[in-house]
Structure 1
Amino acid sequence: MRNNLGRFYPEAKPLAVVNGLTARSTRGAIGSSWWSKRFISILDGFGMGSRLQRGRAYARKGQVISLDITPGLVAARVQGSTPRPYSVQISLGIFRDAQWEQVQQILNQDAWFVASLLDGQMPEDIERVFEAAGLSLFPASRRELSLSCSCPDSAVPCKHLAAAFYLLAERFDEDPFSILAWRGRDRESLLGSLHPIGQDTKTADGGTAEQEAGTPLEEALEGFYQSGPMPAGRSEALGTALLIDQLPSSGVTVRSMALEDVLRPIYRALRENR
């Protein structure tokens, strides 16, 4: 910063914070899961990379006092060089109920997505679900984000905003449902809309997976490759055509999961690596 004589003031050091939120990463990149790394890479793609790096030291020193995620808003308090902490806000548009219902319908058509989310994991191709609904899980452009900080720095993002971004990425590591909550759907509401694998799922002969849960493997395999109606599933929702999705239901369960759902990730990996 220059004074009136054109000379530079020494950069003020931030005041120390007791029990601040400290980034777990001590060096290198911040964010360990694919979804937090994806979030940071998107911000870099918006041209924020060089500005974000200014806040990395703040995030690691524990200068962020608090960080709260609510639908459409991330609010944080960051301690700078003045006694009063700065107020930081990162806003992002939320999805309407009708849009979330469409996303949930697509999720329910794929037992792999349902199983992953119920297990607390964020499936790596979940972005395609939102794309199929005409939405973007992460910000699609810089214009979707509204950034503000009460500090006097005119640059956006300032180091206080940048520190909040890094702590937000690590919050995503801790709880991937925070991303969805930011978009307007909390964990309980989303999971409550998902149908657990095998619950009232119709099999090829009109029964349910629960009714056939005790079918011995050797008996079910006899009719596994017989012709039958193609099950409606992910191939219709996302335009994929896995071989496993073209076969009728076997009615076999493995550790409470349908055999097809157990095999689907293997078929998907074979297709992607061929």
Structure 2
Amino acid sequence: MPEPDPFWWRDEAPARPRKVEGGIQINSTRGPVARTWWSQRFLGVLERLGVGGRLSRGRSYARAGQIVSLDVAAGGALAQVQGSRPQPYKVRIGIPAFGKAEWTWVTQALAGEASYAAALLNGEMPREIETVFDGVGLSLFPADQRDLAMDCSCPDYAVPCKHLAAVFYVLAERFDADPFQILALRGRDRDTLLEELRARRAAAAPPDENGGVAALADVMDVFWTGDTGLAERLSGAHTPPDAILDQVPDFAITVRGEHLTELLRPAYRALAGED
């Protein structure tokens, strides 16, 4: 009688996933996926939360275009990922969205620093933006595992499964192209945030001669011009331009019988436009 196979319980070799026509895939064919600091930070946070060790399982799915659809909105991302079964698996990644009051704090802090607003208006994520969120008691990226919900309809017990992992890779590459999708997860879309920033920056601008807020285009000719009376108020009494020569010790050298300081005096006056 033959000996029973000690590995009779082992699973069959996994079936290959069904090919998707026109699926969503990452552009990176090798090496790191994230190119910008904010996408690298996103994947780094996943590593810290213990998720990153399993991300590599989904890299081939992400590169093969197995993601059928992906929608990013306030509170998370929903996707369909094609596996070996006929129906795509439903994937959900949840990140809590901030409320109106919380976004008011964030927007006010961002608008208070011109460089932050300028970077966002230019489609970039300021490096200090995490500090801004921290300053109002919030976190831009998931702070702990309670800040990150993951669910997939596949039978794999591992979290994240390769379908969830594939979506994380596509999200990271999308964040490279559009950092506002990170903010959208937390509850603010691009247009709403930029409109609020513009409104707050305009409200903080100096008033025009009629008491209203002057548009930047209307004050560009004097934007870098200081108060015309400031120099006079700071300088006090008029000081002759050649007064400094009176503080210079006498030189032993003379030129045609004239002291050197006296020869220089007309030049100092000429430079000041007094001669």
What TM-score do the two structures reach when normalised by structure 2? 0.74
> 1: distance between equivalents of 2:201 and 2:143?
35
Give the deviation of 1:197 after TM superposition: 9.8
RMSD: 2.7
Among candidates 141, 145, 154, match of residue 151 of structure 1: 154
Which residue does 1:9 correspond to in 2? 12
- Contact 1:75–1:87 under 8 Å retained in 2: yes
Give the deviation of 1:6 after TM superposition: 2.2
Among candidates 202, 206, 224, match of residue 202 of structure 1: 206
Quick check: 1:46 aligned with 2:53?
no
Q: Deviations over 1:97-136 (max 9, x none)?
A: 0000011111111111111111111111111111111100
Among candidates 156, 165, 168, match of residue 168 of structure 2: 165
Consecutive unaligned residues of structure 2, counting only runs of 5 or more, are 1-5, 235-275
Which residue does 2:185 correspond to in 1? 182
Consecutive unaligned residues of structure 1, counting only runs of 5 or more, are 228-274
Which residue does 2:30 correspond to in 1? 27
Among candidates 114, 119, 125, match of residue 116 of structure 1: 119
> 1: distance between equivalents of 2:119 and 2:223?
26
> 1: distance between equivalents of 2:176 and 2:223?
40
Which residue does 1:68 correspond to in 2? 71
Which residue does 2:260 correspond to in 1? none
- Identical counterparts, % of pairs: 47
Is the alpha carbon distance of 1:197 and 1:189 closer, same or farther for their aligned partners in structure 2, counting shifts above 3 Å?
closer
Which AA in structure 2 matches 1:201?
A: A
Which residue does 2:142 correspond to in 1? 139
Is the alpha carbon distance of 1:72 and 1:197 closer, same or farther for their aligned partners in structure 2, counting shifts above 3 Å?
closer
Q: Secondary structure at the residue paired with 1:47? A: coil
Which AA in structure 1 matches 2:102?
A: Q
Q: Secondary structure at the residue paired with 1:69? A: strand
- Contact 1:31–1:170 under 8 Å retained in 2: yes
> 2: distance between equivalents of 1:143 and 1:130?
18
Which AA in structure 2 matches 1:30?
A: V
Q: Deviations over 1:189-222 (max 9, x none)?
A: 111101379746239xx99684653238676699
Which AA in structure 1 matches 2:141?
A: F
- Contact 1:111–1:197 under 8 Å retained in 2: no
- Contact 1:114–1:197 under 8 Å retained in 2: no
Among candidates 99, 104, 117, match of residue 107 of structure 2: 104
Which residue does 1:125 correspond to in 2? 128
* Max Rg structure: 2
